[in-house]
Amino acid sequence: MHPMLNIAIRAARKAGNHIAKSLENAEKIESTQKGTNDFVTNVNKEAETLIIDTIQASYPEHCIVAEEHGAIDGKDNDVQWIIDSLDGTTNFVKGLPHFSVSIAVRFKGKTEVACVYDPMLNELFSAQRGSGAQLNNSRIRVKQLKDLQGTVIATGLPYKQKQHAESFFKIMSSLFADCADFRRMGSPALDLCYLAAGRIDGFFELGLKPWDIAAGELIAREAGVIVTDFSGGTDYMKSGNVVASSARGVKGILKHIRENGNEAILK
């Protein structure tokens, strides 16, 4: 195993165990609003600190980009850790047991290793660039689709960007004519991992942040998933707009986005 993946997994498990344990004392969870329909808890921050401390104990010179702490500069600007200590905060606050810890390591702009940990199911998704993707040490692969018939597509509603709601629902309505059903589960990192594991057939969402995408994207790609932005390009880390599936699945989803999306979300 890549040494940095080993540290990422160690950090993710520490954070995940802390998050799971905190649910035993739910009255001590403090939630505050940091933006429109966007919440953070004391547990997010505590878990993030655990991750940062674990990384810095082994790699004090590396850069870190964390959702709550922001950018932490290091001496080695080539290596960047991208952290989401609690992807699915709303689920966590509501007591819905579906959330994850997401950690990716990028070297000179390319994601090299990644892990996403679901502490409630004790499921660890991981990948190393060029070496495939795994779920708890078993290899995972995306399902290859012929078309969208019978598929289940995961998504996330644009609750932070409701100005795009009308266009987004047009896309969903059009897609619904071809696919069987949708899932809106609340953790984009796990959506990408579930796609990698064949639990869902496709995923699309707009307005995501790098920490939402970075780890799940590598795990998905190493499982054979095609990942694009809404125009079919590869600028999703910057735009935050993601489409993912097998090759034919992506083609089908993109068709509906192009035909029904407005200019603002197709950029």
Mean pLDDT of 1-5: 90
What pLDDT digit, counting tens, does each position of 74-101 carry?
888 899 999 999 999 999 999 999 999 9
Orientation angle between helical segments 3-22 and 42-58, nearest 10 degrees: 160
Tell me where in the chain the CATH 3.40.190.80 domain(s) lie: 152-266
- Percent of the residues in the chain that have a pLDDT greater than 90, as a whole number: 81
Report the pLDDT value the prediction gives residue 264, as an integer from 0 to 100: 63
Q: Which of 34-48, 162-176, 193-207, 211-225 has the lowest mean pLDDT?
A: 34-48
Mean pLDDT of 213-223: 98
Architecture of the domain spanning 3-140? 2-Layer Sandwich (3.30)
Bridge partners, 117 (sequence order): 101, 124
Q: Strand 133-135 and strand 138-140: pairing?
A: antiparallel
Look up residue 251 and give its two tokens: 């083609």
Candidates 3.10.105.10, 3.40.190.80, 3.90.1150.10, 3.30.450.40; CATH matching 152-266? 3.40.190.80
Mean pLDDT of 234-255: 96
Report the pLDDT value the prediction gives residue 37, as an integer from 0 to 100: 63
Whole-structure pTM value: 0.95
CB 84 within 8 A of CB 211: yes
Tell me where in the chain the CATH 3.30.540.10 domain(s) lie: 3-140
What pLDDT digit, counting tens, does each position of 9-53 carry?
999 999 999 999 998 887 788 888 776 667 788 999 999 999 999
Per-residue pLDDT for 218 more than 70? yes
Report the pLDDT value the prediction gives residue 36, as an integer from 0 to 100: 67
Report the pLDDT value the prediction gives residue 133, as an integer from 0 to 100: 98
Q: 106 pLDDT band (50/70/90 cuts)? A: very high
Better-predicted residue by pLDDT, 68 or 252: 252
What pLDDT digit, counting tens, does each position of 107-150 carry?
999 999 999 999 999 999 999 999 999 999 999 999 999 999 99
- How far is residue 185's CA from residue 207's CA, in Å, rounded to a whole number? 16
Per-residue pLDDT for 7 more than 80? yes
Give one DSSP letter per residue of the chain, joined into a string.
--HHHHHHHHHHHHHHHHHHHHGGGGGG--EEEEETTEEEEHHHHHHHHHHHHHHHHH-TTEEEEETTTEEE--SEEEEEEEEEEEETHHHHHHT-S--EEEEEEEETTEEEEEEEEETTTTEEEEEETTS-EEETTEEE-PPPPSSSTT-EEEE---TT-GGGHHHHHHHHHHHHTTSSEEE--S-HHHHHHHHHTTSSSEEEESS--HHHHHHHHHHHHHTT-EEE-TTSSS-HHHH--EEEESHHHHHHHHHHHHHH--HHHH-
Mean pLDDT of 195-207: 97
